[in-house]
Amino acid sequence: MRSEREEVRNIIVYPFTVILGLVMALGLVIATGSQAQAAVYRMQIHEIYYNSPGPDYGGNSSLNHEWVELHNNSGAAISLADWTLRDKAGHVFRFGAYTIKPHGYVTIHTGKGAGTQTDRYWNRSWYIWNNTGDTAILENQHGTVIDKCSYQGTSQGYTYC
């Protein structure tokens, strides 16, 4: 036979243990979800300069003043190998072997140039980003959309995302 003391302990301790277990499990689910969300938002489209200064004559200098800037918002380096940046019309920039530094940025210019740590070049001979509005889409190597930025053309010629 159980003593009265054991029965009281079981009445108090058992439900407390169950509740504690549920709270810990819920905390794990919430923490896991937060980590997954944090991973998605580590790379972001920060700014699009869609209307280079002056007339659109197609010269390389003008083309390279049309660009998209990406930011790594995390404290870790991220490999962007095989990631893509695209517009609504289907123009696609594909990263080769490239790693962005923690809290770093990279600017993808429309025209031609030699790639550096902070500047990459689409090597196009005409403009990508429509002055009247467009959407930039950043996808990882698996085709998962990481970030999107849409804009409507304005006289300022650029947008922060």
Report residue 40's pLDDT band, with 50, 70 and 90 as the boundaries.
low
| Residue 7 confidence (pLDDT) above 90 | no
| Residue 18 confidence (pLDDT) above 70 | no
| Residue 32 confidence (pLDDT) above 70 | no
Q: Report how far residue 158's alpha carbon sits from residue 52's, in angstroms, rounded to the nearest whole number.
A: 9
User: Which of 6-10, 25-29, 68-72, 84-88 shows the lowest mean pLDDT across its residues?
Assistant: 25-29
pLDDT of residue 86: 98
Listed in order, strand segments (DSSP E) in the chain are: 43-49, 67-72, 78-79, 84-86, 92-94, 99-100, 105-109, 119-121, 133-139, 145-152, 158-160
